Amino acid sequence: MNRAVAPLFLGIVLSVTSVLAQETPPQTTKPAEATPTAPPAAPKYLISDWKPFQSKEGNFSVIFPTPPKEETKRYRLQSGLSEDHRYIVPTSNGNYQVAYTFLSENLATPEMIRERFDNLLKNLKVVPNLKWISGGEISYEGNPGIEFKAQYSEGPRTITLWSRQFFAFGCVYEIAARYTTQEPELKEPAMFIESFKLWGPPARRPALPALTQESLPDFTPLAQGMYYITPEKLREQALEKPELSIGSTGRVSRGTVTVLVTVSPEGKVIQIEPSDGFPAFYEEAIKAAKKWTFKPFLLNGTPVKVQGRLTFKFGTTGTQNNK
């Protein structure tokens, strides 16, 4: 799957296949107060709490039980840029989100999007431990799209993923619910998915030029005090570079997997996201990338947080890092 659609297309899949290697922050409390506590439970909402929410910036409406948390992230893709806008509400029985993603014009053609939709449906069916329920092509007001349902286990619970995606006004839209499977099925997911209305194009369209591999130099600023590093520079700074280890799956004998890694100022991998390649092997790639360590990346003599891509090759005679 091309990185151009990973921020949105993988959004729902990452809850199954992605592992985030979060760095533990130093404790500032006294030892007696340092006992870890569970995060607060997500609120429980009544059916009557679900009310229309309208985004003026996104030019859409949908029902939410409370105003959503809004997130905007920009990604550097292999041949362009994307800007992802998400509206998220966690509840006691699941998570509900609407997202729309802008892409560079060279990546946002109807033909390319249809191909990506088709590849996503095919790839989802081979994700380990993901039970395919249903899915296929749809049309939203004449715009091409897909819809799918799948399930996976999370401890003693079975989780259902329901995602509806389509391409309109040069954006990829996603309306998605991730919720606890039960009988009878919850009413909220269907209410939420079916309530979405798109009124027109987003109010603001960012400038997202097409890029060549060399368009962004090392230490190009990204969001939140983070800097872009080229794959070559990332590998050059690596101290430990464990290879990808894939057992015999009988599915794919040769290919590549790319992950997007975030590295702390100390040189530790603190976050990993699948980026490109075979979804069935994302988990193994993430495990390998978690073990990488780096010399600190210095900007004007100061260690900084960076983000870049690692690509692993695998084949019938073993696996190796893509040098």
CATH number of the domain to which 234 belongs = 3.30.2420.10
For 151-156, which contacts have Cβ atoms below 8 Å and span 24 or more sequence positions?
Answer: 151/181, 152/16, 153/129
Q: Give the CATH number of the domain where residue 132 resides.
A: 3.40.1000.10
Q: Give the count of alpha carbons within 13 A of 200, CB side only.
A: 5
Query: Which residues, 6+ apart, have CB-to-CB distance to 268 below 8 Å?
Result: 23, 293, 294
Distance CA 261, CA 273 (A): 7
Domain limits for position 143:
3-24+44-198
Task: Specify the DSSP element, H or E, that contains 283.
Answer: helix 282-290
- Contact predicate 104/124, CB 8 Å: no
Same domain flag for 280 and 192 = no
Distance CA 44, CA 279 (A): 33
pLDDT in the model for residue 92? 93
- Contact predicate 82/72, CB 8 Å: no
Distance CA 311, CA 284 (A): 12
Kindly state whether residue 36 falls inside one of the protein's structural domains: no
Kindly state whether residue 172 falls inside one of the protein's structural domains: yes
- Contact predicate 257/243, CB 8 Å: no
Kindly state whether residue 169 falls inside one of the protein's structural domains: yes
pLDDT in the model for residue 216? 66
What is the DSSP-derived secondary structure letter of residue 78? S
Greatest CA span in the chain, whole angstroms? 61
C-alpha dihedral sign at 181, 84, 141, 117: negative
pLDDT in the model for residue 210? 64
- Contact predicate 13/119, CB 8 Å: no
pLDDT in the model for residue 76? 67
pLDDT in the model for residue 13? 40
For the chain, residues with pLDDT lower than 70 are 1-39, 76-79, 208-216, 223-224, 245-255, 277-280, 315-323
CB atoms within 10 A of CB 307: 19
CB atoms within 10 A of CB 290: 18
The model's pTM:
0.62
Same domain flag for 236 and 101 = no
Distance CA 4, CA 108 (A): 9
- Contact predicate 247/140, CB 8 Å: no
Kindly state whether residue 208 falls inside one of the protein's structural domains: no
Residue at which a domain ends, from 198, 229, 259: 198
Same domain flag for 60 and 9 = yes
Distance CA 255, CA 252 (A): 8
What is the DSSP-derived secondary structure letter of residue 167? E
Kindly state whether residue 215 falls inside one of the protein's structural domains: no
- Contact predicate 83/74, CB 8 Å: yes
pLDDT in the model for residue 24? 30
How would you classify residue 270: left for phi > 0, otherwise alpha for psi between -120 and 50, otherwise beta? Answer: alpha
**Scanning the structure block, which residue is given the tokens 């060549």?**
212
Q: What is the count of structural domains for the chain? A: 2
Same domain flag for 244 and 159 = no
Same domain flag for 108 and 224 = no
Residue at which a domain ends, from 164, 198, 232: 198
Same domain flag for 153 and 81 = yes
